[in-house]
Structures are given as C-alpha cells and as structure tokens.
Amino acid sequence: MKTAILGTDRRLAAESNMRDEGKQPKVCLVTGWSKLAERFKERWQDQLQVKSKLAGLVESADCDMFIVDTDVSDMDVWPAPIHSHPQAQSRLWLFLTSKRLNLNPLPPETVIFERELEAVDDLVFFLRERYAPESYRQIEKVDYFQSNRTIVVHMKNGRIYLLRADELPEADSSEIVRWTAGKSRNYFRAKQSSGNWFEVPWDEVLYHCEPEYEHYKGREKAEPPENRALRIGNKVRELRTVKGLSVAELARRTGMKRPNLSRVESGRHEPSLETLERIADALVLPVAELVSRPMVV
C-alpha cells in the first residue's frame, strides 16, 4: 500500500537539483525493528541514518527524508519532530504502519506503506524512481536459466524480472546461447542456436512482468470490477481518515450526498471519473492516488 498525500514546490525543486547533480538523498530511518532496518540497509545501500527513537529526529535536520516505523516506542511524541527544526515541513515523510493511527497534523508530503518486511522492496523502489526516474527503464544485467528457458532481467532500480522466452514473439523454439544488456541499457539482446537474434526493450519487459506498469498485459484481467470498486472505496476511506475528515465533511467538500459517498467507500458502487476527480480535488490529491494498485513483485 502506498498513499502520496501532498507535495511542496520547494522540496520538489531540491529533489530535481539532486537528480541533476547525481546526488543520493540522505535518509533517516526510525525503527526499533532490527530486521526491518537490516533489510532496508541491504536494499538501499546509500546515505542512511538509523535511529530507534522518534525523538532522535531532532538532531537530523540534514536528512532529505524521514522514514518512520509507527510502532516505535515513543510514537506518542508526534508531532513534536516536525516542529523541532524549520526544515522538517519541507522534507518527505514516509510512514510504515499496520494500523490506523491519527498522525495529524501531517507534513505537507506524506507517503504511507504497510509495516511489513516485504514492503521495504516497494519503499526502496519508490525512492529509486523518485530520485532516479530513468532507472526503471535501464537494464543492469541479464542472466538465463536453460532448464526452464527463463531470462532473468536485473533493472537498475533493483527490480528483478523473470521473463519466459516462450512469451516473446521474437524468439523461436531453439535454445538461447548468448545474452547481454544493450549498450544504451534500455534493451537486451539474445542469440539462439538457430542463429536468430532478437532484442527486447525495457517496456516489453515491464509489459510482461510488472503489474504496476500502465501497459501491463494482465492489468485488466487481474482485477474484477467488484474488486476494483472495493479497492478504490478502501483507498478513499483510508485517505479521508489520514486527512482527519469525517464522511460528512468530505461529502460537503465534494458536493456529494453523504449516502452516495458511503456507498463509494464501502465498495458498493464504482465511482465515475468525474466523481473520482471531485474526491481527489477535495483531498488535494491526483486521481491516480485513488485508483493505483499496490506494487506486487
């Protein structure tokens, strides 16, 4: 689960400068869960501070973003950290939570993830895309398993995809004998024993393997309409709660009748694009945040 709340021009400009200069953001992780900290260190491997107490953030004004495990022992000191130094409000804050919490007031930009070890991969993917948006298009290296004719594609953002040769229309039934990432890193090449050469671009890899990719081949099949309505309803309710709004208040802001909004939140009615736009405007969010699906790899 990932929920972006709101952005600030100052922070976005700073991030743009970091990307242009090739700098890695400084991250401060607050958690008492050692396994989570270790996994994040393995996945991130960049500038990182780890603290076991939320109160320790007072000394972390130099961090570009904060990741907070909401199960830390002193979570009750919130929102003191965002008032501890003037730069806190312009930073990106990410929260890992397994329960509904009243985190108000929230910083101008907040992102919420599930508190589970597996979510670390999604979190790191989110950060890599944010600070190196081209990395999800670049292929780091390619391997091949002959036993099941599977091509292993390692992307620069850390994602690893398993692509069956039989799924590729460019490939014939003969064995793959050579494979390599292209010079530009946005495709890979493979040679087969028949003499056939073929190239597979990054977007075809995502088409076959990445459920979050907008053109993913299974996007429409993967989710029945009733599931979509329930997922969107849960997301609307979750974001409304994070914003500290009642159903009545959100209904007032959208100009909807309260029973109609309740039907959307309960998943009994899939809202139209117009309704989604009204809800997104009321929550100060892009429509994509209401309809996007969790990353699954």
State pLDDT tens for residues 67-78. 999 999 999 888
How much is the average pLDDT of 24-39?
89
Residue of 210, 227, 241, 31 lying closest to 122 (CA atoms)? 210
CB 169 within 8 A of CB 204: no
Check whether 7 has a pLDDT greater than 60: no
Give the residue-averaged pLDDT of 94-123.
Answer: 81
| Whole-angstrom distance, CA of residue 189 vs CA of residue 183 | 10
- Beta strand pairing status for 2-4 and 109-114? antiparallel
Alpha-carbon span 187 to 206, nearest angstrom = 11
Q: Which two tokens stand for residue 188?
A: 């890979």
**Mean predicted lDDT score pLDDT of the chain:** 81
pLDDT of residue 157: 74
Reply yes or no on whether the pLDDT at 271 is more than 80: yes
Token pair of 118, please? 């597996």
Q: How large is the average pLDDT for residues 164-177?
A: 93
Task: Check residue 142 and give its pLDDT.
Answer: 96
Q: Mean pLDDT over residues 133-155, rounded?
A: 88
Separation CA 236–CA 282 (nearest Å): 11
Most distant pair of Cα atoms in the chain: their distance: 67
- The continuous run of DSSP H or E covering 200 comes out as strand 197-201
Taking the model in full, what pTM does it have? 0.47
Residue 283: strand, helix, or coil? helix
pLDDT over 90 percentage in the chain: 29
Most trustworthy range by pLDDT among 1-10, 102-111, 232-241 = 232-241
pLDDT at 211 over 60: yes
Q: Which two tokens stand for residue 253?
A: 């802001």
DSSP at 61: T
Token pair of 187 as six digits: 């495709």
Phi-psi category of residue 255: left, alpha or beta, with phi > 0 → left and psi -120 to 50 → alpha: left
Count Cα neighbours of 53 within 13 Å in the Cβ-side half-sphere: 7
